[in-house]
Amino acid sequence: MKAPFGAKAFREFSAGVALAVLMTFGAPTYAATPADTLVEGFAIDDLITLDPAEAFEFTAAEFIANSYNKLVNLDPQDTSKIVGELADSWTVSDDSLTYTFKLKPGLKFASGNPITAADVAYSFERVVKLDKSPGFLITQFGITGDNVAEKAKAIDPLTFQLTVDKAYAPSFVLNVLTSMTASVVDKDLVLQHVKPVTPSDEFKYDNDFGNDWLKSAYAGSGPFKLVVWKANEALVLERNDNAAVHQAKLKRVIYRHMKESAGQRLALENGDIDIARNLEPGDADAITAKEGFAITSAPKGTLYLLGLNQKNQYLAKPEVRQAIKYLIDYDAIASTLIKGIGQVHQTFLPSGQLGALEDKPFSLDVARAKALLAQAGLPDGFSVTLDVRNTQPVSGIAESLQQTFAQAGIKLELIAGDGKQVLTKCRARQHDMCFSNWGSDYFDPNSNAETFTVNADNSDTSKNKTLAWRNSWDPGELNDVTHAALLEKDTAKRAAMYQDLERKVIETGPYAFIYQQIEVAGYATKVKGLKLGPSFDTNYVYPIAKD
């Protein structure tokens, strides 16, 4: 068996470059970063896997966006438009069931293998048959392990055909295909690393489709290829000279794991990093005032919220869920902890999406919260735990919640962990309350509606693990309403349906939405071409250069 692509590439590094890269993993050196290398300070402790068929985390999405290609993608200048990436053109049948894509000729993977429709078909097959967390994005079109060979197939070397089960709006289908789950992998390379397995709950088939290998390896065609990932230390990428679509300007990009805002600011000011990605308001202000540095920002569709597990006997009471929403000091959080990096938002569709409500029905009201708790038979409150990632500003917000909850008699125990620990526990619905963030997988309101209002199987063994499922919530009739909104062709009626869903979730849902992110990055002005995108998978590094 051949050595993993990432390991081979790392061994081929020159000794001097390898040393320079590894030095960035340790204590700050405060040496100027190389002219051909971009170093970003970033909290990357949410990385669990790099496999596009499995990854469902924010940092992984950014890596995949810069390292893989899809058939189509969002137009970065106008997110209402879809542009071809690997696809040169596409057509939709009159019945809106069949999508036929013509690939651009002559494209290659980083390995040098040609990109063909067979690679696209295999990429869809492994997503469906692996059936990992993001697999529902493809299986929602009626595609299963039994029919994927017919529903997603190569017609000839440069023609791929996708057949869906319903006459969805074509814009919806194409938007789903811009998600990272639809990334195309190098079939021939992945097949060299397929591992036989015994069919089980984890793997329904007799092989792992290269999943174990791709967790920390690379088989893409994007502007950058993976060199090495060291968990909670660094992710190192190198320019892919065989890039299929976009050519990178710099030779190398290093995401250096740095959790603390003050540490990022110091490293940036001393030249140890080029970009600081997790600055708190005070550090962002300080960077703005310093010569040779600047701040850039972009509104994101990412929402920060509390998930209230309905397995908890107290949180299962509707009055308690409402009380919690009145025990959050939104104004204080907005004016301090998220000043300049977020705005209060209290429903599941982010501002800017079709149907998004801007209503803010909740404010800190301890008296009202106490009355609701009394109605629930809990006049003296109760004890509950909150799992929270040990990064700012969420740690500070959690401490604020602890104080305001106590005013109504709710004793909140904070359980801090790194990104992987919190995600893993909450995804297994082993939490009481979970402080999490959620970003749309594609630019359509169904992306968020489906995760917050659909849970067709509330059993622990369910495969469709939406946020409603993670919080053990059965939305009842909202399942059908969400599916109906997906098929509504009239835009105004569809927007109204989502607004009705939002109002019902505000009243009954197991979520307390707190704010919508404004992403901020501090950078040295020698960095040129940095632009934060509107979503977690549109922060592209290939256009960036350095003076």
Instruction: Give the residue-averaged pLDDT of 171-186.
Output: 96
Q: Which residues contact 367 (CB under 8 A, 6 or more apart)?
A: none
| pLDDT score at 355 | 95
Separation between Cα atoms, residue 219 and residue 2, nearest integer Å: 13
Shared domain check, 121 and 14: yes
Q: Which residues contact 489 (CB under 8 A, 6 or more apart)?
A: 169
Whole-Å CA distances, 239 to 110, 391, 402, 499, 533: 10, 30, 46, 44, 21
Residue 363 has pLDDT above 80, yes or no: yes
| pLDDT score at 143 | 98
Looking at 189, 208, 239, the residue that finishes a domain is 239
Shared domain check, 99 and 27: yes
Residue 329 has pLDDT above 70, yes or no: yes
Separation between Cα atoms, residue 302 and residue 56, nearest integer Å: 14
Instruction: Give the residue-averaged pLDDT of 9-33.
Output: 48
Q: State the total domains in the chain.
A: 2
Model confidence band, residue 1 (pLDDT cutoffs 50, 70, 90): very low
Query: pLDDT, tens digit, for every residue of 135-178?
Result: 999 999 999 999 999 999 999 999 999 999 999 989 899 999 99
Residue 328 has pLDDT above 70, yes or no: yes
Separation between Cα atoms, residue 44 and residue 235, nearest integer Å: 8
Query: pLDDT, tens digit, for every residue of 486-521?
Result: 888 888 999 999 999 999 999 999 999 999 999 999
Instruction: Give the residue-averaged pLDDT of 60-73.
Output: 97
Whole-model pTM? Answer: 0.86
Q: Which residues contact 241 (CB under 8 A, 6 or more apart)?
A: none
Separation between Cα atoms, residue 374 and residue 378, nearest integer Å: 5
Count of residues for the chain? 547
Residue 226, domain CATH: 3.90.76.10
Minimal CA–CA distance to 179: which of 392, 444, 370, 494? 444
Looking at 214, 239, 264, the residue that finishes a domain is 239
In the chain, the amino acid numbered 13 is: F
Q: Which residues contact 416 (CB under 8 A, 6 or more apart)?
A: 388, 389, 390, 395, 398
Shared domain check, 355 and 234: no
Least confident of 131-135, 178-182, 307-311, 540-544: 131-135
Looking at 222, 239, 256, the residue that finishes a domain is 239
Minimal CA–CA distance to 180: which of 59, 48, 4, 44? 59
Higher pLDDT, 221 or 353: 221
| pLDDT score at 14 | 34
- Percent share of the chain, pLDDT over 90: 88
Shared domain check, 142 and 21: yes
| pLDDT score at 21 | 52
Secondary structure (3-state) at 434: strand
| pLDDT score at 76 | 79
Residue 341, domain CATH: 3.10.105.10
Q: Is 287 among the domain residues?
A: no
| pLDDT score at 37 | 97
Q: Is 335 among the domain residues?
A: yes
Shared domain check, 218 and 343: no
Could you tell me the residue range of the domain that residue 65 belongs to? 5-239
Q: Is 524 among the domain residues?
A: no
Shared domain check, 202 and 62: yes
* Residue 271 CA, distance from chain mean position: 29
Q: Is 468 among the domain residues?
A: yes
| pLDDT score at 80 | 82
Q: Is 256 among the domain residues?
A: no
Residue 437 has pLDDT above 90, yes or no: yes
Shared domain check, 319 and 223: no
Residue 32 has pLDDT above 80, yes or no: yes
Instruction: Give the residue-averaged pLDDT of 519-540.
Output: 95
| pLDDT score at 498 | 97
Shared domain check, 307 and 234: no
Shared domain check, 327 and 439: yes
Separation between Cα atoms, residue 43 and residue 422, nearest integer Å: 14
Least confident of 9-18, 119-128, 338-347: 9-18
Shared domain check, 310 and 233: no
Shared domain check, 235 and 314: no
Q: Is 315 among the domain residues?
A: yes
Going by the DSSP 8-state scheme, the letter that residue 69 receives in this structure is -
Separation between Cα atoms, residue 294 and residue 315, nearest integer Å: 44
Q: Is 474 among the domain residues?
A: yes
Could you write out the three-class secondary structure of 223-288? CEEEEEEECCCEEEEEECCCCCCCCCCCCEEEEEECCCHHHHHHHHHCCCCCEECCCCHHHHHHHH
Instruction: Give the residue-averaged pLDDT of 438-465.
Output: 92
Cα–Cα–Cα angle for 350, 356, 357, nearest 5°? 110
What integer best gives the mean pLDDT of the chain?
93
Q: Is 363 among the domain residues?
A: yes
Shared domain check, 233 and 335: no
Model confidence band, residue 3 (pLDDT cutoffs 50, 70, 90): very low
Buried b (16+ CB within 10 A) or exposed e, 445-481: bbbbbbbbbbbeeeeeeeebbbbbbbbbbebeebbeb
Instruction: Give the residue-averaged pLDDT of 190-195.
Output: 98
Yes or no: say if 420 and 389 are a contact pair by the CB < 8 Å rule.
no
Residue 23 has pLDDT above 70, yes or no: no
Residue whose token pair is 């200048």: 77
Query: pLDDT, tens digit, for every residue of 258-293?
Result: 999 999 999 999 999 999 999 999 999 999 999 999
Buried b (16+ CB within 10 A) or exposed e, 84-110: bbbbeebeeeeeebebbbbbeeebbbb
Model confidence band, residue 13 (pLDDT cutoffs 50, 70, 90): very low
